[in-house]
Chain A
Amino acid sequence: MQYILLIYGDERQWAKLSPAEMDKMYAAFMQYSKALADAGVMRAGSELKPTSSATTVRSRNGKVTTVDGPFAETKEQLGGFYIIETPNLEKALEWAAKCPGAQMGSLEVRPLPPPHS
């Protein structure tokens, strides 16, 4: 089964990190990505630029509204994701717990349904 690991964190905490702490974080993420790849479970993944760079689009009855910012103001913001493939939820949770993002923030683990036939 495929699972998406949604990495939520407080952007303001992230912004407060010193350059050295930031480097350590990135190194940890790179190591984690490598571990996922070596284990053959990695399918996709990326950091996201902060919510200050986001734009939200809605289309209702043919009318399109475009606004600055994320879809909603939240205490923790989506900062990145991984898509992994594991035999079951337990394995996905095991990987999620090891993600550096789980230490400072929250990882939401959501299964992907099979392709709609």
Chain B
Amino acid sequence: MLDHLIDQVFRRENGRVLATLIRATRDFELAEDALQEACARAASTWPRDGLPQRPGAWLTTVARRCAVDLVRRRQASPSWTSEPSAEEVPGAETEEDPALISGVEDDRLRLLFTCCHPALAQPAQVALALRTLCGLATREIARAFVEPEATTAQRLVRAKRKIRDAGIPYEVPRPDVFPERLEAVEAVVYLVFNEGYASTDAQGLVRPDLSAEAIRLGRLLVELLPDEVEAQGLLALMLLHDARREARLGPDGALISLEEQDRALWDAALIREGTSLLDAAVAARRPGPYQVQAAIAALHAGARRAEETDWVQISALYSALLRYLPTPVVELNAAAALAMAQGPEEGLRWMDCLSSRAELQGYHLLPAARADLLRRAGRKEEARLAYAAALALVRNPAERRYLERRLLALDAAEARGQSEVLPPETPGTSPG
């Protein structure tokens, strides 16, 4: 029980403590080692003495002293080591050091920008952010990357080494590069969110913890940079998507499409929060891609039933999004929206143009989207082929089950003589 409590404290405090330590020591590895030692001491003394009133301050003070000891052991002597050794005041509650408390929020911002520095490859940025700001263990980050723990450990070591060797400073970027650096941070946060939202592990389970970490980072960004409307748009987008989490998976582990989801399962509080955040951002009249995507999500969230979805508006928003992100994937989504607004043939014409694009080769959502429109258009044979093509490419087990179900239903519909949109799955009729 106490172990669990202590774990929670670590999770809550470690990001702040680490950020402060990095500022003090200018050395990621040293800061991490020192924090680890401080946590080890906490784990042995807190069960005996009880949780300190201000665990963050306790950890910070003890960690600073551990850092001093570590440096002395390595026989270097930077100027900041004129502090008591960690051995000198064993287990005592420490006084609040004002210098440690003020500027903590600035430290986390510095840490966020440092982790996402362009001198680091993006996977390294993601791993470092998850480790230092979210406090995830190497093992947990390895699960996120779907790679062996040793690989992730190496990734982190190399990233910290690059920061040290290349002299990446621990600072918020200067104004003229700030916008592009902020975009990089937002991209990392959104990447982490999508990993948690769309992907599954071997058991076919959605990994909600990653989405939660991304939302935490998103909230931090909004808190620390209250004037950045795109950061608000990003948070709104994540909240609105997260609101649908409970409705996305069926009992058999198959994905449930937006159209079929039980909207009573959507989280109304998250939708309210996301929508009002978006409204506030949009009022600043500085539009951007995250705000546009959030607006699309808000339109879905605002429709009580799938049939009430304002596809015309959504289609228009996709046109706007394409101006910011003229990518084949966005075009694919735009084509799907157009089809809902104007009919499947319109969407199919657009998708056929997309099928030759290099970036979409091997992308299962293209044949999946085509299959869906072909089904709606009553072109069943072509739909069957497209579902098969999608199944050949899909990797995510939940999405595979969804496509298999769609393919089966095609044949069942044919047997029943139907050709239109299928009714949502009713309990007891799905296989297994």
Contact = CB atoms under 8 A, between A and B. Distances in A.
A90 B166 contact: no
A117 B410 CA distance: 74
B171 A111 contact: no
A94 B174 CA distance: 10
Contacts of A87: 167, 169
A90 B165 contact: no
A88 interface: yes
Contacts of B91: none
A41 interface: no
Chain B at the A interface: mostly helix, strand, loop or mixed? loop
Chain A at the B interface: mostly helix, strand, loop or mixed? mixed
Interface in B143-176: 165-169, 171, 173-174
Closest 3 CB pairs of A and B: A88-B169, A89-B167, A88-B167
Given A1-B167, A88-B168, A113-B165, 18 more contacts: A87-B167, A87-B169, A88-B167, A88-B169, A89-B119, A89-B166, A89-B167, A89-B168, A89-B169, A90-B168, A90-B169, A90-B171, A90-B173, A90-B174, A94-B174, A111-B165, A111-B166, A111-B167
Interface of B: 119, 165-169, 171, 173-174
18 contacts: A1-B167, A3-B167, A87-B167, A88-B167, A88-B168, A89-B119, A89-B166, A89-B167, A89-B168, A89-B169, A90-B168, A90-B169, A90-B173, A92-B167, A94-B174, A111-B166, A111-B167, A113-B165
A1 B165 CA distance: 10
A90 B167 CA distance: 8
Nearest to A91: B169
A29 to B, nearest CB: 22
Contacts of B169: 87-90
A111 B169 CA distance: 13
A87 B173 CA distance: 14
A87 B167 CA distance: 8
A4 B141 CA distance: 35
Nearest to B169: A88
Interface in A78-92: 87-90, 92
A3 to B, nearest CB: 8
A111 B174 CA distance: 21
A112 to B, nearest CB: 10
Interface in A48-74: none
Contacts of A93: 119
Contacts of A90: 168-169, 171, 173-174
B165 to A, nearest CB: 6
